[in-house]
Structure 1
Amino acid sequence: MQTERKPWPALWALVIGFFMILVDTTIVSVANPAILTGLDADLTAVLWVTSAYLLAYAVPLLITGRLGDRFGPKPVYLIGLAVFTLASLGCGLSGTIEWLIAARVVQGLGAALMTPQTMAVITRIFPPTQRGQAMGLWGAVSGVATLVGPILGGLLVDGFGWEWIFFVNVPVGIVAFIVAWRLVPDLETHAHRFDWLGVVLSAVGMFLIVFGIQEGETYDWGTIVGPITVWGLIITGIVVIAAFLVWQRFNPAEPLLPLGLFRDRNFSLANLAISLVGFSIVAMPLPLTFYAQIGLGLSPTIAALLLAPMAVVTGVMAPLAGKLTDRVNPKWVAFAGLLIVAGALAWIGQLIDPDIAPAWVLVPAAFLGLGMSGIWAPLASTATRNLPPAQAGAGSGVYNMTRQVGSVLGAAAITALLNARLAAELPGLDTAGGAAAAGAAGSGGELPAQVLDGFAAAMAQSVWLPVIGFAVGALVVLWFAKPKVTVAWGGAAGAPAKADAPADAGADVSA
């Protein structure tokens, strides 16, 4: 029986693997300079190491949720964890940038199999009165993992080499597999029809858009080969995504993306806001770590520790922000958090100057952590709060997908912007930044003065991309409607009576 299951041990078992795959969305950022020189690659190729992972992670999320419903969340999660762990080993053994990118694609597919299952298990084994707490833990893990990634990456790269940001996943993956096998219950399965046309359309559309944005500067935003141009790829990708949405609207069977969920205003706005957060968080560390390591010649550990206050403050304040979210209108918590992050990041952008000591970054980094602590819980609770329990699983799947799509676009956009600003500020230098990286790595120190000024200006200008992303997110959450209930999942006295139904009653966990 559902009530005899032990939900919290099961959730903690899943959190281990979930934390690992989220760390891998940002851990590579601090290792990029080392990978660039170690595999003799250019900047665009190295940034594909992140983009390929995020793209392979984002596109299959909706259908992997349905796989969990069809075959059970536990076996699909364990298969994904095994794929992710083996792919991590392959990443660490990579001898070329092409091999590394291919292994990262496999890693992303493993992560896509795992992520929806954690939300499905929460929805199906937690009673309504505990689901808010469980979602809070899940959201806190999401926030802390994305911030811990660069710090952990710096320590590993500096101490053992860039390969170890991937090798470390192997023992963690084995432990996560064993505890999930023992503690996560087997859940009922349900038949589903799979929208394979929707999968193909969404994958092709996303790839064309991301490839066009990320490789635009490489081809001078012109011809790639024959009649194929960069803008032609981007426009084609947009048309394909539009065709995907039309297909989802008129699909007579089971659509991959249940568009009916977006009739809820808060759900729609929360998804837009989390996509902007995903966009900005992936874009944020790249110019900072490149400037610290390539521009100033700092070690990966020291460069990563410049952002350590962000992770510490987030870890301390996130639980308090989660409790505050249940007591006041969540939009004010999210608005304050996003605005603080945008302001702190703009402050850091002003500090990217050869004449300012890097230690000054520690102060605004602490404010970054304060702002980040107020983002995750209110957005996650607002996204699902007004949805009936039968739609909670589908809503969580869409929410995960939009966050990852934002991350993919953020990685592509920051790559294009970095290349463009380097070309503008250092016209005599390879825009890929390979010469700069090689010079810094070879000398073990900072760049020559005649190059450093232009390099610093390019990195400072690139920081404004995530600043704008967070600021727009703050404006979006101001349009949240007042929640129908004051405590997520019907914990308040005014909640609908049906919230006391059994946790698994009619829950749609297909996504």
Structure 2
Amino acid sequence: MITKSAALQQDPRLERERDRHERLTLIATSACTVLVVGFVAAVNLAVPLLASSRLRPDSSQLLWIVDAYVIVFACLVIPAGALGDRVGRKGCVMAGLAVFAAGLVTCALATSVPAMLTGRIVSGFGAALVLPNCVGVLVHATQPERRKRALGMWGAISGLGGVVGNLAGGALLNTGSWQALFWGAVPVTLLCGVAIGLGATRSARVFRSIDVPGTALLVAATFLLFGGIIEGPQHGWHSALVLGAFVLGVLLSVAWVLVELRIEHPLLDPRLFRAQLLTGSSVGMVTLWFGSFGFFYLNASLMQYSRGFSVLQAGLATLPLTVPMVLLGRLVPALAARVGVWPTLAGGFVAIGAGLLGLSTATHSPFAGYAAWQVVLGVGFALALPVLTAELTSSLPAVQAGVAGGLQSATREFGSALGVAVAGTITVAGFAAHLPTSLQSHHPVPRTVAGALALDPGAHAGIADAFVSGANTALRAGAVVTLLAGVLVVLVTRRASRARAH
């Protein structure tokens, strides 16, 4: 009896057809991933326009506009992955794209901050359906012997999402309207839906119950903890609101762990993290995206406020970051196989930390110097991202592809949200502390560039310098966190690699 695998090997035509299908699936899933990841970075470019728009958001509301999408994305991405395993991964991707588009339209039509936040939350829910199930679709469409390389390539391409978001977002926002960003993304979303519909095939389903209590606790705990970080500068770190948010967030986090340990089908079983490879890869992902999107959030405003760049120029200013990611992305899986996982990761985290630190010293330098540090940063992303993607996914069996994709996506988005929240919070505190004396005496002290300029248009130079000082402090903090966490990730990964070798 000839098996299907043997038949494929005997028929070159079928083999070519399978290769073509795998390539189309990789292209379609990568396009969807770049869309939902890139939109995080694209919105960063809109911050100056939003700050001076008729919405009139304060500094905390600006951070919520950026982070609401990412937090919902992060919290729901694991149950969305489990849902895909249960009802169909391809269907979940297409449904997610439809919800994502609905959120975009809501944002474009928003005339108030609450309406904008509603649209961002809806889009985050759609993105949560898309990302983990793209991984599931790719895993089940790829032969086992090619799966690790395909995932590494998907990881490298998805790493360009932030840069693509900056470029496309800059082009759309250069019209001078923040609404153009949301309207412009709608047809792109529809095209991605067509690509998935034509390029992806349905895969076998695995019954997985949806952990509603665990999901609710995770969402509530995450919003409270991030709320404490975001609202700290506005209300004071010792205020009842901020302290209460932190305390309640921690209590709900503990409750979440207890529920997950006792429920039959948990959202994410904490016992999985006994595996050193899974733990190290997850922490590595959070760290990588913490530094990445902290930089993207700051860079968009730095280019516009301190260098006087247009929105399009600010988007193009991230191009130096892409050079090493494009040139090295395909080579890194082979490099890691040759020299080892942990040495590759070590080089990546050192480069990211050095890049962030160097950028903090080059904000007033000619752009060539600033661009050179972006290249260093890009080398770090190019080295670390494909390795972490492949290691995290391979640490769980293929039948849990949705959960693996969900965990990978959750760590990505938690890191992104944390990077934006921390970088934004540090920048706001530094900005307020370095404002010209005339503005520091104002009550309340303005916490956005647009707010400060409205009070004293003649102090533009001093206001821009205050923003740069706050951003430099945030970049240095990001560098320190990345290097310290990177040491931990490398040590854990090294130990796991040695244990696996024996």
State if a TM-score over 0.5 links the two structures.
yes
Supply the distance in 2 between the matched residues of 1:287 and 1:405 (Cα, whole angstroms).
18
Larger CA deviation: 24-33 vs 451-460: 451-460
TM-score (norm 1): 0.87
Letter in 2 for 1:414: A
Given that residues 274 and 402 in structure 1 are in contact (C-alpha distance below 8 angstroms), is that contact kept between their aligned partners in structure 2? yes
Per the alignment, residue 507 of structure 1 pairs with none
Equivalent pair of 2:58/2:447 in contact (CA under 8 Å): no
Residue 58 of structure 1: aligned partner = 74
Tell me the amino acid that sits aligned with residue 271 of structure 1: S
Task: Confirm or deny that 1:475 pairs with 2:491.
Answer: no
Shift of 1:483: 6.3
Q: Kindly indicate whether the alpha-carbon contact (under 8 Å) linking 2:101 and 2:189 is maintained by their aligned counterparts in 1.
A: yes
Q: Work out the CA distance in 2 between the residues paired with 1:384 and 1:187.
A: 18
CA contact (8 A) 2:298 2:424 kept: no
Q: Deviations over 1:463-488 (max 9, x none)?
A: 123212321232123211366699x9
Secondary structure at 1:288's aligned position in 2? helix
Rounded Cα–Cα distance in structure 1 between residues aligned with 2:467 and 2:33: 36
Change beyond 3 A, Cα 1:159–1:313: farther
Query: After superposition, where does 1:364-383 map in structure 2 within 5 Å?
Result: 364-383=373-392
Structure 2 residue aligned with 1:509:
none
Q: Which runs of no fewer than 5 residues in structure 2 stay unpaired?
A: 9-13
Aligned runs of 1:21-60 on 2, under 5 Å? 21-38=36-53, 39-60=55-76
More off after superposition, 82-91 vs 52-61: 82-91
Aligned partner (choices 235, 246, 258) of residue 247 of structure 2:
235
Q: Residues of 2 paired with 1:322 and 1:438: CA distance?
A: 51
Indicate conservation of the 8 Å contact 1:53/1:104, yes or no: yes
Instruction: Work out whether 1:73 is the aligned partner of 2:86.
Output: no
Match 2:320 to one of 309, 325, 330 = 309
Q: CA deviation at 1:11?
A: 2.9
In the TM superposition, residue 462 of structure 1 has moved relative to its aligned partner by 1.7
Match of 2:311 among 289, 295, 300: 300
- Which amino acid in the other structure matches residue 247 of structure 2? I
Q: Distance in 1 between matches of 2:205 and 2:56?
A: 48
Point out 4+ residue stretches in structure 1 off by more than 6 angstroms. Answer: 1-5
Corresponding position of 1:259? 270
Aligned to 1:101: 117
| Mapped pair 1:350 → 2:361 | yes
- Of 411, 415, 433 in structure 2, the residue corresponding to residue 406 of structure 1 is 415
Partner of 1:286: 297
Q: How does 1:45-444 map to 2 (within 5 A)?
A: 45-159=61-175, 161-223=177-239, 228-251=240-263, 253-353=264-364, 356-426=365-435, 427-428=440-441, 429-436=445-452
Work out whether 1:13 is the aligned partner of 2:24: no
In the TM superposition, what whole-angstrom CA distance separates every residue of 1:233-266 from its partner, at most 9, and x where no partner exists? 1111011011101111121x10110223212112
Structure 2 equivalent of residue 504 of structure 1 = none
| CA–CA distance in structure 2, aligned partners of residues 12 and 21 of structure 1 | 15
User: For 1:157-194, what per-residue CA distance to the aligned partner results, in whole angstroms no more than 9, with x for missing partners?
Assistant: 12453222222221111111122122221223233322
Which letter does structure 2 place at the counterpart of 1:29? N
* Unaligned stretches of 5+ residues in structure 1: 489-493, 496-511
CA contact (8 A) 2:206 2:399 kept: no
Match of 1:491 in 2: none
Distance in 2, Cα, partners of 1:254 & 1:78: 26
Aligned to 1:194, the other structure's residue is in SS state coil
1:138 CA drift (Å): 1.4
Aligned letter for 2:212?
W
Task: Output the CA distance in 1 between the equivalents of 2:342 and 2:278.
Answer: 13
Q: RMSD of the alignment, in Å?
A: 2.6
Higher helix share: 2
Q: Quick one: structure 1 residues 195 and 119, their matched pair in 2 at CA, closer, same or farther if it must change by over 3 Å? A: same
Partner Cα separation in structure 2 for residue 387 and residue 80 of structure 1: 24
Partners of 1:154 and 1:304 within 8 A in 2:
yes
Q: Provide the rounded CA distance (Å) in 1 between the counterparts of 2:327 and 2:229.
A: 37
2-side partners of 1:379 and 1:437: how far apart? 43
Comparing 100-109 with 464-473, which one deviates more in the overlay?
A: 464-473
CA contact (8 A) 1:46 1:97 kept: no
1:401-436: CA deviations, max 9, x gaps?
122122222222222212211121123451233334
Counterpart AA for 1:105? I
- For structure 1, which segment, 171-180 or 208-217, has the greater mean C-alpha deviation from structure 2 after superposition? 171-180
Residue 371 of structure 1, CA deviation: 1.8
- 2:38 touches 2:165 (CA, 8 Å); kept in 1? yes
Distance verdict in 2 for CA 1:398–1:286, change over 3 Å? closer
Seq. identity, % = 25
Q: Are the counterparts in 2 of residues 11 and 118 from structure 1 also a CA contact under 8 Å? A: no
Aligned partner letter, 2:465? D
Structure 1 residue 437: Cα displacement: 5.5
Is residue 48–residue 450 contact of structure 2 (8 Å, CA) maintained in 1? no
Distance 2:433 2:497 in 1: 51
Alpha-carbon deviation of 1:79? Answer: 0.7
Q: Is the 8 A contact 1:36 1:437 kept in 2?
A: no
Which residue identity does 2:483 align to in structure 1?
A
